[in-house]
Homo-oligomer: A and B are copies of this chain.
Amino acid sequence: MQLTQYTDYSLRVLIYLSQKPAQTLATITEISDFYGISRNHLVKVVHSLAINGFLETTRGKNGGIRLAKPAAQIGIGEVVRSTEPNFEMAECFNHQNNTCIITPVCSLKGILSEARNSFIATLDQYTLADTIQKPGSLFRSYMQAINK
């Protein structure tokens, strides 16, 4: 059981933005350099975060991205729901493609649903504001990493 890197990258972008001084813009290049990950991949991550209303983008010179609302109003559950391609715990969760012959009598799917729901419910207890405890520590951590 894993989440996609796409989801983690989405959260990394939001975490980064949450630590920037309010109202300042970051660029995708800046963030991909910071984390050392594919800029191309981040472009799509950022685009979907914008479509889902988590951040605002500004094109053109001096453009960039920033959070669309305060970190404390961005739920981790919301973000993960919007980035994960699916939450199909077994074949029968996709009615179109399901070939499992015991579906009509199987209660396992209900158990798996309940487990998935408690996973997401836990995430719903937290917001972006809970991801970094000490203000400023994100960039201090970066400095330490690049100086060694």
Show the binding face of A for B, using Cβ within 8 Å: 1-3, 5, 8, 11-12, 15, 34-36, 76, 84, 86-91, 99-102, 104-108, 111-112, 114-116, 118-123, 126, 130-134, 137-138, 140-142, 145
Interface contact B1-A108, CB-CB below 8 Å: no
Q: In the assembly, what is the distance between CA of A5 and CA of B1, in Å?
A: 11
Q: How many copies does the complex hold?
A: 2
Q: In the assembly, what is the distance between CA of A51 and CA of B19, in Å?
A: 48
Interface contact B76-A137, CB-CB below 8 Å: no
Q: In the assembly, what is the distance between CA of A128 and CA of B12, in Å?
A: 39
Interface contact B105-A132, CB-CB below 8 Å: yes
Known A-B contacts A114-B122, A118-B122, A119-B115; the reply to A105 vs B141 at CB < 8 A is yes
